[in-house]
A and B are shown apart, each in its own frame.
Chain A
Amino acid sequence: MIIAERKPFEEIKNMIAGYKRILVVGCRTCVTICWAGGEKEVGILSSQLRLQSGRNGNELSILEATVERQCEKEMVTQELGDKVQDIEAILSMGCGVGVQTIAEIYEDKPVFPALNTAFVGMPEREGLWIEMCAACGDCFLDRTGGICPVVRCAKGLLNGPCGGTRRGGKCEIDPEKDCAWVLIYRRLEKQGRLDLMRKYYEAKNYRKVKRPGKIEALEA
């Protein structure tokens, strides 16, 4: 799922400076799971903004809301519908897709992102999310025992490790990080499928997904 992180408070504060009536809107899907923009985080950020404006003697009234999925226009209008009328600006705690969806629906309102959308990943354990997929549109996982070299190899190599692998099979750029190709080697060896790693793979086709990506279903 999409993993995001809340922007530094200073940055958010500066974005909404001058506005007196704002809507802070979160999302119940990806950003809830990574503790960045769910209902609770909306509450916390709103509380902080109120405390802060109170200290500065500024006027700030905040309306809080959370959409099931901020990237779906119907869900956004269903949840926010008439709430936006008296609002001067919207602070979205959704991922980049959510922010843009809201900006498109409420075109006359300034919309600000409270989060930095970081990557596609998963929770390795409570409170730790790691990137797993580059959304490259040309999935290679059948050839690497299910370990993605595009993301997990720092250089995105397709034919084996670089010469900079640290002793013990750690990555050149981070002694705490495993070299993806060593992981791939070990997994394929376990499965007796090292022939996959011995094959030569040609240079990646970066046009598999023409950016900005677009996929249209035949049934549409």
Chain B
Amino acid sequence: MAKPFRETLKKKDFIVTAEAGPVKGSNVTNMVEHIELLKDKVDGLNVTDNQSAVMRYPSLGTCLLVKEHGGEPILQITCRDRNRLAIQADLLFAYSRGIDNVLCLTGDSVDVGDHKEAKPVFDLDSVQLIHLVHSLNSGKDMVGNELDGGVDYCIGASATPSADPIEPQLIKFDKKLDAGVDFVQTQAVYDLNELKRFMEHTRKMDGKVKVLAGIVLLVGAKMAMWMNDNVPGIFVPQHFIDEMAEAPKGKGVSRGIEIAGRLVRQIKEERICDGVHIMAIGREERVPDILEAAGI
């Protein structure tokens, strides 16, 4: 049985989480394989929620699978698909089934996904969502009604250290810290100086929150360029695109693993932040290779 994430946050020196992306369908076979592969290698396993607005098996469902297989799940909730009632209801359900870590996200726009004609919800934003979880944690729903059976969530938020301009992002991020956040998982980080500046700011605002730097596995130069144009919140600098382009044919993923490993190792050795959050989208089976390349 995996250790509760909130304990790990308090006690472990360098925290590693990874992501499992659900399947588009009801066939959970591959997901279970990934869960089995990763559950003991990471401190927490995030499950994305209709990531990039592409409809998939829900985060909640996959978190139950993680739990069933002895892993430590981190539920992701976005504000795009559910209103405040549905979100509160889902949080009550998840907690009743042993899930007690939640990452509170705004959510990618429906326009970037595969159901572009859908009506986006965005009844709440990520800051309001964090406040909502605190309400539930204190035994009341969002409008103040007493709950018969409460919850106790470990709350996470996201941040974008490479945003340009950064100031508006930091203002919003500060509101999240102010609301009370146990951990932060950032969007993909490729520039460690940017990460250092972000950490300086964060430590000033909140000395206790644990920050895990997001590491996205690159698999090819073209893919990196495509992500720059199409995936919200990611920016791969030119020198990494070049490094990927120089990889011999068929060795793109290996080069990507090298780069990811290098970043993780440096973050750990220089103690830049409290850990990493590894996103190997579509290639969950390579996460152990990244950890190996990083010397973990």
Contact = CB atoms under 8 A, between A and B. Distances in A.
In the complex, A touching B, CB below 8 Å? yes
Interface of A: 154-169, 172-175, 179, 181-182, 184-185, 189, 194, 197-198, 200, 202-204, 206
Interface of A is mostly: loop
B171 A162 contact: no
Nearest to A149: B125
**Interface-centre pick from B80, B106, B132 (highest chain A CB count, 10 A):** B106
A200 B169 contact: no
Interface stretch (B36-44, B172-180, B254-262): B172-180
Contact of B232 (A163, A168, A185, A200): A163
Given A159-B127, A159-B172, A163-B160, A172 B167 contact: no
A164 B108 contact: yes
Nearest to B169: A161
Given A172-B232, A198-B171, A198-B174, A164 B109 contact: yes
B186 to A, nearest CB: 9
Contacts of B187: 163
A181 B160 CA distance: 15
Contacts, number: 108
Contacts of B179: 200
Contact of A202 (B108, B128, B168, B235): B128
A182 B106 contact: no
B252 interface: no
Contact of B163 (A165, A184, A202, A204): A165
16 contacts: A155-B79, A155-B125, A157-B125, A159-B126, A159-B127, A159-B175, A160-B127, A161-B168, A162-B126, A163-B158, A169-B165, A184-B168, A185-B165, A185-B168, A197-B168, A198-B171
A81 to B, nearest CB: 42
Contacts of B159: 163
Given A154-B111, A172-B112, 17 more contacts: A155-B107, A157-B125, A159-B127, A159-B128, A161-B169, A163-B106, A164-B233, A165-B232, A169-B164, A172-B111, A173-B111, A185-B168, A200-B131, A200-B175, A200-B178, A202-B131, A206-B123
Nearest to B127: A159
Nearest to A169: B165
Q: How large is the interface on B (under 10, 10 to 19, 20 to 34, 35 or more residues)?
A: 35 or more
A203 B122 contact: no
A10 B116 CA distance: 25
Contact of B125 (A158, A166, A174): A158
B192 to A, nearest CB: 18
A37 B160 CA distance: 46
What are the 10 tightest A-B residue pairs by CB atom distance, in nearest-first order?
A160-B172, A164-B232, A185-B168, A173-B111, A163-B160, A159-B127, A162-B106, A172-B232, A157-B125, A163-B233
A173 B112 contact: yes
A22 B167 CA distance: 59
Contacts of B169: 160-161, 163, 165
Contacts of B175: 159-160, 198, 200
Interface of B: 79-80, 84, 106-109, 111-112, 120, 122-128, 131-132, 142, 158-160, 163-165, 167-169, 171-172, 174-175, 178-179, 187, 229, 232-233, 235
A178 to B, nearest CB: 11
B165 A173 contact: no
B122 A156 contact: yes
A197 B173 CA distance: 12
A182 B178 CA distance: 21
Contacts of A173: 109, 111-112
Contacts of B112: 172-173
B167 A157 contact: no
Given A155-B120, A172-B232, A198-B174, A163 B163 contact: yes
Nearest to B164: A167
Contacts of A189: 167
Contact of B168 (A164, A182, A206): A182
A107 B178 CA distance: 58
Contacts of B111: 154, 172-174
Contacts of A184: 168
B198 to A, nearest CB: 13
